[in-house]
Each structure stands twice: as structure tokens, then as C-alpha cells.
């Protein structure tokens, strides 16, 4: 399978201390999709992850993919691919920790591979809020619903997160509770955070894609 996605190039150059590594989280087992790798499932004729990568790439200075299976298929997108440093499909925090350990830039933003509608201004708004609040982590929220895997955090949290994971921690909200965080409202884009977990949701997403998005 050969797939290409435009290289990660931000809309405008950022100062070195504000540069951002984007991470597509694709390290899960896809159990609710019948055990298949969700990001590789086709949506409108392309892998679902291709839609997410297309939206995320222009917003970041570097783009990498966290995946724990089907590595050759993920490498075909043309970005560096790495697995969790903790075995057993330990969840999104394991993927984030691996990303923080590998990121070239001081800020790291994450998005899941099953989010083909993610906001095209996600990074801009998260970064503005992070800096304004002098926070360690910014997380997207729509109304009263946080979206914890859509976050921007500081690379220097790698050690802190590593200690949390080494102590058996796995719950993302519990780790967030140890940090200074800021929730960033995206009430104007609630549908953008819809992810795809079932075949029915996949069919619905295909109907909702803009014309020509396939």
C-alpha cells in the first residue's frame, strides 16, 4: 500500500522555543472496530488517518506517528513511525510518553487517528491558550466535554509522565490532574472532535465528508 501526505509545514515560521511536533496517536487495538487498525480503515476511498494527517500536517513543524502494529502500512504515509516504550497497548499516555521522548521540538500536540474532522486551527488555539495561561498542558473542550487526546503539552514533561507510567498510572485524567492545565473551548466546532469507533459511525462520517474530500 503506497500513500503520500503533504510534508508537515506550518502556516508561518515559529520561534525555535515555540515550534511544535505533531503526533498522530494510532497505537490502540481498535477493539470497537472489530480489532482492526482504525486509522487504516478506508473512509471515502482513503485510510481514515490520511484525512487526519492532511488536517494536522500544515499546523505543525514536525509530524510523527505512534503505532504498535501494521508498521509498514503506517510508514507508507511518509512520516516517522514509533511504538510505545511500554508493552501491552497501555493507552494514549504511553503513546504520548513515547512521543515526548522523540519529539524534535519543545511543544507536542496530539490527535487520534480516527478524527478525520479535526479542527484546522487546533494547534493555533491550543498554543495561544497554553502560553497565555503559562500552563504545562492545554486540552480541547466543547461545552462541558473535554477531549483529552487533543492536547498540546511541553516536551519536558517526559520524565514526569514516565514516572507516572512506571508507577502503574494509565488514566489520562488522573495524570492531567497532576499538572497545570488550561481547557480551551471549541464550542464553535463540536462536530470536529467526533471520532470513529464503529462501522456505523464510519458510514455516517462518509456521508458527512465535504464533497471532494475522498
152-193 pLDDT, tens digit each? 999 999 999 999 999 999 999 999 999 999 999 999 999 999
Binding site for GTP: residue ranges?
A: 25-27, 38, 66, 84, 114
Q: CA triplet 164, 168, 170: central angle to 5 degrees?
A: 75
Q: Give CA separation, 105 vs 17, 62, 63, 148, 173, in Å.
A: 8, 8, 10, 21, 24
| Structural domains in the chain, sorted by start | 17-205 (3.90.550.10)
Mean pLDDT, the chain, whole residue set:
89
* Gap between the Cα atoms of 117 and 115, Å rounded: 6
Binding site for Mg(2+): residue ranges?
A: 114
pTM exceeds 0.75 for this model: yes
Binding site: residue ranges?
A: 25-27, 38, 66, 84, 114
Amino acid at each position: 500500500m503506497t500513500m503520500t501526505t503533504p510534508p508537515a509545514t506550518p502556516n508561518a515560521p515559529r520561534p525555535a522555543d515555540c515550534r511544535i511536533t505533531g503526533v498522530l496517536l494510532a497505537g490502540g487495538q481498535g477493539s470497537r472496530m472489530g480489532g482492526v487498525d482504525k486509522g487504516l480503515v478506508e473512509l471515502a476511498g482513503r485510510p481514515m488517518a490520511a484525512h487526519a494527517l492532511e488536517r494536522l500536517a500544515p499546523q505543525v513543524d514536525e509530524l510523527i506517528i505512534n503505532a504498535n502494529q501494521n508498521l509498514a502500512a503506517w510508514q507508507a504515509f511518509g512520516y516517522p513511525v514509533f511504538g510505545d516504550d511500554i508493552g501491552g497497548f497501555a493507552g494514549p499516555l504511553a503513546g504520548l510518553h513515547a512521543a515526548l521522548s522523540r519529539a524534535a521540538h519543545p511543544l507536542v500536540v496530539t490527535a487520534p487517528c480516527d478524527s478525520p474532522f479535526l479542527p484546522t486551527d487546533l494547534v493555533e488555539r491550543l498554543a495561544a491558550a497554553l502560553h497565555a495561561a503559562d500552563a504545562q498542558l492545554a486540552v480541547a473542550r466543547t461545552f462541558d466535554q473535554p477531549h483529552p487526546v487533543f492536547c498540546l503539552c511541553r516536551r519536558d514533561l517526559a520524565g514526569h509522565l514516565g514516572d507516572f507510567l512506571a508507577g502503574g498510572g494509565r488514566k489520562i485524567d488522573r495524570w492531567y490532574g497532576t499538572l497545570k492545565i488550561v481547557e480551551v473551548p471549541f464550542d464553535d466546532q463540536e462536530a470536529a472532535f467526533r471520532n470513529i469507533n464503529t462501522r456505523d459511525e464510519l458510514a455516517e462520517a462518509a456521508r458527512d465528508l465535504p464533497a471532494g474530500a475522498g
